[in-house]
Structure 1
Amino acid sequence: MAYDNVCKYLVEWFPESFARWLLGSPVPLIQLQPTELSSEPIRADSLILLRAQNLILHLEFQTDPDPDIPLRMADYCLRLFRRYPDQEVRQIVIYLRKTQSERVYQISFQRGSLSHRFEVLRLWEQDPEVLSRYPGLLPLAVLAEPDNPEPRLRQVARAIAEMEDPKLRQELKAATAVLAGLTWTPEEISRVLGGLAVRESTIYQMWRAEALKEGREEGLKQGLEQGLQQGLQQGLQQEAARLTLSQLRRKLGSLPEDLSETIRLLPTEQLEALAEALLDFQTLADLIQWLRESSSN
């Protein structure tokens, strides 16, 4: 669900972009809290409720097919009707990753005489040109062309780079890097997007926390074989080392292999301290001096 939540954050921060895409006009959207439903939602952390005039828009982002989706849509619809009987409810499930599963074509729940229908959007079937028109949808545009994503990823990177607001650039670049990870390796993403100064972005930090929680963060697979807790710690350290080395190379250029290996072996706490300290480094000598002082403490 970590990738799904990146989309949730995009909806929260760019409601107008999603209104133009899904509703066809820049209708003001007000976010509703799941706690406003009359009973406890099944998955409150994944529920996105937006209110627009006489319409309630319920969005569900799914990385992969989920057999419980039809039931969940029917259940939420009844709860929303109970809470907002005069409001129209529109439910849309948006699948992120291309699949051959028939589940992504399910648009109804039926049990006996009970029948409920909802909408489904498969991102790989959407027009990437349409998605690229709106800032909040730029990270999704990459997933609209999963079979040949590089040209679109480059186009998205250029569009983000042209934005004037540095905070907006940072968040959208982080979201794009994360979602592109559904089909690309981190090395491929870095090659296309260039230097990713996203470590401090809100989206990246939220995604990372979710990924750690679910055991999905890159670098955890090997550790998970030795036990979840050890794997989480190892994955976190490996990711911190990779990001810190990347920042150091952008700051100082190529690093000697023995120095790189030393940094890879640093504990997570020291890597985080190094990531902050390197902003003041001017030469390789500054890095060497910092490592000496750090090891002596």
Structure 2
Amino acid sequence: MAYDNTCKYLAENYPAEFASWLLSIDTSDIQVLKTELNLEPIRADSVSPVLREGFPPQATGEPVRVTFLQIANQILHLEFQTTPKSTTPLDFRMLDYYTRLKREYWCEIKQVLIFLQATSSAIAFQTQYIDTNTTHRYRVIRLWEEDPTPLLANPALLSLATLARSDSPQRLLEQVATAVDMIEETDERQNISACVQVLAGLRFDKNVIKQLFREEIMQESVIYQDILQKGEQRGLQKGEVAVILRLLKLRFGAIEPEIEQQIRKLLIAQLEELTEALLGFNSQSDLVNYLANISPLQPSLGD
């Protein structure tokens, strides 16, 4: 999660730099779009019961959290991945994002899937989704194959430079540290340093990183505080879930796995409301009905 937050921070705070790197466009006319795409259910006039059998459940308007940049009359969709593993296959996710964006904005869409950590998985070398009647293409960047030179030249991209191609990774990290020290504005230097240290953790031992970067600089940064806050929230969420599941099992015995999964996906505010509501439940059916009336908040295809 720290890697996701870091990449999201960089893309949304330095959109012009990412546009210049990925699209070779130099412009300040860039807007960070909302990170949710709501898609209403689509109902076909007729679906054969035989053909429908075994199909996955239909989407029900769930929002999807992603990073989109609108540049003039086109949209740049950035997707960062540390591993090729995904509940929803990555190639299909790219198609899904594309169609949702197209329906809402109806403009040219550029998609870039960026793999941060070296892998030999075939998924990282796949650049299209192919189905019976559909072929959808997107761009893939494997950072470990990228030339670090353009990344080292741009403070916003220094974090990615730590993961770029190099015959001497240690020397590359030293170059990044030197470039970070040259950033004049204090807050920016602190935030970029924090991002560098987080992403460098995918490749380097933490002791190597500590030798080159001062820990107090990282702790003062906005991104570091954001990571800490989200970590605390996840801890609180897990604690709330544990308490609720224990109370429910004491009252109603074993809880259906599907119901337990629904509870685990609730946010802290929803869990707090459920804790109060369950005092009035007389049976597990009351719990089922209660959960059915809760609107899902910000689930992600990337989970």
TM-score by structure 1 length?
A: 0.67
| Residues 15-164 of structure 1 aligned to structure 2 (within 5 Å) | 15-27=15-27, 28-35=29-36, 37-39=38-40, 40=61, 43-44=64-65, 47-67=66-86, 68-85=89-106, 87-145=107-165, 148-164=168-184
| Deviation per residue, 1:127-172 (Å, 9 max, x gap) | 1011111111011101004663211111111111112100010000
**Does residue 187 of the first structure (1) align with residue 212 of the second (2)?**
no
Percent sequence identity is: 39
Query: What is the CA–CA distance in structure 2 between the aligned matches of 1:123 and 1:18, rounded to whole Å?
Result: 14
Measured at CA, do residues 139 and 43 of structure 1 come closer, stay the same or move farther in structure 2, by a change above 3 Å? same
What amino acid is the match of 1:65?
P
Q: Aligned-pair distance for 1:19? A: 1.2
1:66-121 superposed Cα distances (whole Å, 9 cap, x missing partner): 35111111111111111112x10111000000111111011111221122111100
In the alignment, the residues of structure 2 paired with residue 190 and residue 147 of structure 1 have an alpha-carbon distance, to the nearest angstrom, of 21
Q: Which runs of 5+ in 1 are unaligned?
A: 216-227, 230-297
Question: How far does residue 183 in structure 1 lie from its aligned partner after superposition?
Answer: 1.5
TM superposition shift of 1:214:
6.9
Q: 1:286 is matched with which residue?
A: none
- Checking the alignment, whether the CA contact within 8 Å between 2:39 and 2:63 is kept in structure 1 is no
1:52 is matched by which residue type in structure 2? I
Contact 1:56/1:89, CA 8 A, preserved across alignment: yes
Structure 1 CA distance for aligned equivalents of residues 167 and 223 of structure 2: 26
Q: Report the CA distance shift for 1:125/1:188 in structure 2 as closer, same or farther (over 3 A).
A: same
Say whether 1:6 aligns with 2:6: yes
Q: Deviations over 1:181-227 (max 9, x none)?
A: 11222211101224442113111122334456678xxxxxxxxxxxx
User: Helix, strand or coil: the match of 1:34?
Assistant: coil
In structure 1, C-alpha distance between the alignment counterparts of 2:38 and 2:180, rounded to whole Å? 37
TM-score (norm 2): 0.65
Structure number with the bigger relative contact order (C-alpha 8 A, sep ≥ 6) is 2
Q: Tell me the distance in 2 between the aligned counterparts of 1:198 and 1:143.
A: 19
The structure whose residues are more often helix, as a share, is 1
Instruction: Show CA shifts across 1:226-275 (max 9, x none).
Output: xx76xxxxxxxxxxxxxxxxxxxxxxxxxxxxxxxxxxxxxxxxxxxxxx
Amino acid at match of 2:160: L
Q: How much is the aligned-residue C-alpha RMSD, in angstroms?
A: 2.1
The CA deviation at 1:42 is 5.9
Asked whether the equivalents of residues 109 and 117 of structure 1 are also in contact (C-alpha less than 8 Å), the reply is yes
Paired residues, number: 214
Q: Judging changes above 3 Å, is the alpha-carbon distance between structure 1 residues 95 and 210 closer, same or farther for their aligned structure 2 residues?
A: farther
Q: 1:31 & 1:62 partners in 2: Cα distance?
A: 20
Task: Identify unmatched segments of 5+ residues in structure 2.
Answer: 41-60, 240-303
Structure-to-structure mapping, 1:212-291, within 5 angstroms: none
SS where residue 208 of structure 2 aligns?
helix
Distance 1:9 1:210 in 2: 13
Secondary structure of the 2:141 match is strand
Q: Is the 8 A contact 1:54 1:88 kept in 2?
A: yes
Query: Structure 1 residues 60, 213: CA separation in 2 closer, same or farther (over 3 Å shift)?
Result: farther
Q: CA deviation at 1:38?
A: 3.9
Partner of 1:292: none
